[in-house]
Structure 1
């Protein structure tokens, strides 16, 4: 089953399977006790510098993807995420960004689903 993505503000469903929050910062308005996450893998998120530079600007999306892939190459959390994707029948990457087309979860899911 492919890796899927979902905003953390959406209600969890059984089809989500193993749920991983992949944001470096904890999402606003979400209580940790009720987040329904299996793992918070914040280390796989873009560096603070890259996240600040990108600022979810669609015009920077292509360059952001290239820079983020470079960050992932030497990131142990990326290797851990790939292993988790192979261990679970269903895996959902959770993110908080409002822009559902231009965020790191989109790129991570695409790379994991290759």
Structure 2
């Protein structure tokens, strides 16, 4: 059987599920980035980590679907952010274009004034 390891300590601290990363290298709340641990890993780690510190969660269909939902949610957030960046770019380009048009008008007015003053 394969497992994810949920850090009970950090899950309580951060108030969200917190998972061990691969090779016990830190923590993540994004389940798809969690490490996958074997039965041998579980046996070794249970000797030095208490159950109140880490919980071995079997990788079942249910937990796998939870990981997939996190990926889908992340994808939607990225698409939304991309749209926001594109929209901001469009707004900036419109503002720049409006500024160019205003400057052209000011330049034309200054030329007319200079001509009227004989310059």
TM-score by length of 1: 0.23
More helix by share: 2
- Larger relative contact order (CA 8 Å, sep ≥ 6): 1
Q: Higher Cα Rg: structure 1 or 2?
A: 2
The two structures have a TM-score, normalised by structure 2, of 0.23
